[in-house]
């Protein structure tokens, strides 16, 4: 008998004694403890940790996600961006007016005292990134400035003289997304999230469910040597139509008979083809996992839900709500999953804004960042609801930032940019890396403001991998082969 069961029985025995001796007056305060006693049976897996990757597809113009607020540097920023945007007088400008950066959007780098602001939105989306600014000021969110894909640190002179030192296909969407997912510049089929999962999944009770779960389809990031992502949608799982997916799930008319016929077909040994056998095993595993996950998510007691209200009409919010629900059922110590380590992947698009960057409609940059901020704000609240804020670290990726200079209506593909990390164990309220000089064509940038990164994807990813429990030098070197080229493998943003 475990300690929780012993405690429950002691509680019930003592409650019975109290009722016999004290009557109704003693019952009232005791009844208030019943819920707590029953709730104690649903604890969380000790030491649970999860990473949640939020991929901003298309190349986020992160220099308008985080911008300098002090007068001098804001002036440099505004000049580089072609001046402050005004639909009537400067429609080609990409800079945000300093006057729009009111107190709800202002943040301070606690390490340097530097003054910054996050995107304030616009007239149609006036709350901008206020949700994330609030979490930043609570020291639970950090920004990583000027991070990007690198083989090793590189100067502008080396960039021009030694093309082999550059990351391959530097301004290509597909190639740069792969480099973010792989955290290496050599060809491979595995991503760093999957390789981390390979090394930390051993303590997960239910090994049939992958520790890597994607709400955004197939991705290279979550593929390891022994780990492949389990894919689901933001609305949950889709079962076989009118067929019992397994013994515990429901089907339509003749569902059980159809399921029986399907089982016979899958078990047919008349043609013992290795391919057919493997297909049957995979199909059965899929049905079993459907039953396992779906029954937990749709439990009649509501234990698979969260009560936090997420914004409607927001695909990222829908994905993150399902992530919160999956975390809730996965870390339940009396459940059937009981995972100790998980890696999630969500995705939101629209950031390839060669046109309409400053548009005030729902496809403009201000609207995209507003929806992202609101979704993450709700997710942070939901993690608080289930008691997992200290156990989950959420971070962004995007293939590259964009040119500081305007192309007339938007910005084009560039290089180094800004990412964020959010979580209860994040050393937040500050910037990591080096926020760059934003003058065009300076020592670390090119003519259009394409900034050479000062921090590598490898360093950012290795810091997150360490927090997940991958601390061995050999393991880190295997997952991140270029890490040895950089001065540190730990940027310090995780407690």
Burial profile 126-137: b = 16 or more Cβ within 10 angstroms, e = fewer? eebbbbbbbbbb
Quote the pLDDT of residue 254.
81
State the helix-helix crossing angle for 457-468 and 192-200, rounded to 10 degrees. 20
Quote the pLDDT of residue 446.
98
Q: Per-residue pLDDT averaged across 269-279, rounded?
A: 78
DSSP H/E element including 434:
none
40 band by pLDDT with thresholds 50, 70 and 90: very low
**Statement: residue 149 has pLDDT above 50:** yes
Quote the pLDDT of residue 242.
79
Quote the pLDDT of residue 14.
41
Minimum mean pLDDT range among 244-258, 333-347, 351-365: 244-258
User: Using CA atoms, how far apart are residues 329 and 108, in angstroms rounded to an integer?
Assistant: 37
Q: What is the pLDDT of residues 381-428, one digit of tens each?
A: 999 999 999 999 999 999 999 999 999 999 999 999 999 999 999 999
User: Using CA atoms, how far apart are residues 119 and 227, in angstroms rounded to an integer?
Assistant: 37
Quote the pLDDT of residue 269.
65
User: Using CA atoms, how far apart are residues 88 and 51, in angstroms rounded to an integer?
Assistant: 44
Confirm if 410 and 350 have CB atoms less than 8 A apart: no
Quote the pLDDT of residue 147.
98
Q: Is 429 helix (H, G, I), strand (E, B) or coil?
A: coil
Q: Per-residue pLDDT averaged across 128-148, rounded?
A: 98
Place of tokens 């050999």: 474
Confirm if 351 and 58 have CB atoms less than 8 A apart: yes
Confirm if 67 and 96 have CB atoms less than 8 A apart: yes
This prediction has a pTM of: 0.90
CA angle 199, 419, 492 (to 5 degrees): 60
**Statement: residue 16 has pLDDT above 80:** no
Percent of the chain with pLDDT over 90: 80
Quote the pLDDT of residue 20.
34
User: Using CA atoms, how far apart are residues 68 and 76, in angstroms rounded to an integer?
Assistant: 9
Sign of CA dihedral 281, 282, 284, 289: positive
Extents of the domains making up the chain? 51-236+299-485
Determine how many CB atoms are found less than 10 A away from the CB of residue 495: 11
Q: Is 413 helix (H, G, I), strand (E, B) or coil?
A: strand
What's the N-to-C CA distance of the chain in angstroms? 36
User: Using CA atoms, how far apart are residues 55 and 320, in angstroms rounded to an integer?
Assistant: 12
Confirm if 167 and 150 have CB atoms less than 8 A apart: yes
Half-sphere exposure (Cβ direction) of 245: Cα atoms closer than 13 Å: 18
- Token pair listed for 309: 């209200």
User: Using CA atoms, how far apart are residues 67 and 288, in angstroms rounded to an integer?
Assistant: 49
State the helix-helix crossing angle for 274-297 and 255-267, rounded to 10 degrees. 150
Q: Is 400 helix (H, G, I), strand (E, B) or coil?
A: coil
Minimum mean pLDDT range among 36-50, 84-98, 189-203, 447-461: 36-50
**Statement: residue 36 has pLDDT above 70:** no
DSSP H/E element including 476:
helix 473-479
Quote the pLDDT of residue 12.
39
State the helix-helix crossing angle for 24-39 and 3-22, rounded to 10 degrees. 170
Q: Which residue has the higher pLDDT, 379 or 261?
A: 379
Q: Per-residue pLDDT averaged across 79-106, rounded?
A: 98
Quote the pLDDT of residue 265.
81
User: Using CA atoms, how far apart are residues 251 and 26, in angstroms rounded to an integer?
Assistant: 49
Confirm if 488 and 433 have CB atoms less than 8 A apart: no
**Statement: residue 3 has pLDDT above 80:** no
Cα 441 off chain centre by: 33
**Statement: residue 342 has pLDDT above 50:** yes
State the helix-helix crossing angle for 173-182 and 192-200, rounded to 10 degrees. 20
Minimum mean pLDDT range among 199-213, 275-289, 467-481: 275-289
**Statement: residue 21 has pLDDT above 80:** no
Quote the pLDDT of residue 248.
67
User: Using CA atoms, how far apart are residues 284 and 291, in angstroms rounded to an integer?
Assistant: 11
- Token pair listed for 135: 């979490």
**Statement: residue 62 has pLDDT above 80:** yes
Question: Which of 3.30.70, 3.40.720, 3.30.310, 1.10.8 is the CATH number of 51-236+299-485?
Answer: 3.40.720
Burial profile 327-354: b = 16 or more Cβ within 10 angstroms, e = fewer? bbbbbbeebebbbbbbbbbbbbebbbbe
Place of tokens 């809730």: 328
Q: What is the pLDDT of residues 220-240, one digit of tens each?
A: 999 999 999 999 999 999 888
How far, in Å, are 306, 364, 388, 389 from residue 379 at the CA level? 10, 23, 11, 10
């Amino acid at each position: 008998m475990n300690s929780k069961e012993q405690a429950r029985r002691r509680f019930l025995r003592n409650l019975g004694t109290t009722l016999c001796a004290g009557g109704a007056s003693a019952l009232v305060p005791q009844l208030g403890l019943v819920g707590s006693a029953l709730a104690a049976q649903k604890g969380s897996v000790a030491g649970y940790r999860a990473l949640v990757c939020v991929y901003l597809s298309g190349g986020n113009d992160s220099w308008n996600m985080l911008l300098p607020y002090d007068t001098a540097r804001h002036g440099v920023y505004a000049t580089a961006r072609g001046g402050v945007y005004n639909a009537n007088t400067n429609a080609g400008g990409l800079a945000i007016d300093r006057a729009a950066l009111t107190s709800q959007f202002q943040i301070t780098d606690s390490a340097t005292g530097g003054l910054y602001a996050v995107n304030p939105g616009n007239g149609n989306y006036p709350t901008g990134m206020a949700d994330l600014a609030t979490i930043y000021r609570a020291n639970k969110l950090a920004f990583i400035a000027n991070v990007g894909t690198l083989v090793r640190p590189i100067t502008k002179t080396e960039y021009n003289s030694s093309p082999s030192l550059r990351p391959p296909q530097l301004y290509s969407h597909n190639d740069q997304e792969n480099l973010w997912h792989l955290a290496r510049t050599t060809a491979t089929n595995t991503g760093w999230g999957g390789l981390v999962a390979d090394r930390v999944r051993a303590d997960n009770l239910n090994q049939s469910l992958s520790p890597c779960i994607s709400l955004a389809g197939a991705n290279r990031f979550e593929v390891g040597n022994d780990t492949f992502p389990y894919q689901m949608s933001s609305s949950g799982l889709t079962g076989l139509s009118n067929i019992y997916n397994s013994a515990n799930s429901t089907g339509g008319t003749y569902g059980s008979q159809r399921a029986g016929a399907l089982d016979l077909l899958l078990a047919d040994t008349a043609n013992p083809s290795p391919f057919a056998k493997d297909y049957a095993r995979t199909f059965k595993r899929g049905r079993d996992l459907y039953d396992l996950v779906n029954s937990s998510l749709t439990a009649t007691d509501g234990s698979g839900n969260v009560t936090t209200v997420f914004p409607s009409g927001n695909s990222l919010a829908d994905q993150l709500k399902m992530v919160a629900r999956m975390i809730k059922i996965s870390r339940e110590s009396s459940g059937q999953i009981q995972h100790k380590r998980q890696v999630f992947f969500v995705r939101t698009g629209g950031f390839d804004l060669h046109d309409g960057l400053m548009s005030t409609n729902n496809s403009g940059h201000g609207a995209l960042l507003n929806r992202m901020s609101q979704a993450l704000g709700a997710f942070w609240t939901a993690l608080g609801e289930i008691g997992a804020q200290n156990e989950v670290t959420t971070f962004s990726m995007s293939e590259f930032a964009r040119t500081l200079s305007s192309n007339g209506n938007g910005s084009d593909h560039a290089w180094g940019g800004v990412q964020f990390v959010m979580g209860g164990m994040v050393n937040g309220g500050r910037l990591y890396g080096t926020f760059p000089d934003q003058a065009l064509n300076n020592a670390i940038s090119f003519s259009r403001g394409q900034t050479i990164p000062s921090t590598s994807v490898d360093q950012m990813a290795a810091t997150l991998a360490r927090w997940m429990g991958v601390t061995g030098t050999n393991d880190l070197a295997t997952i991140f082969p270029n890490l040895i080229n950089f001065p540190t493998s730990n940027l310090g943003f995780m407690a």
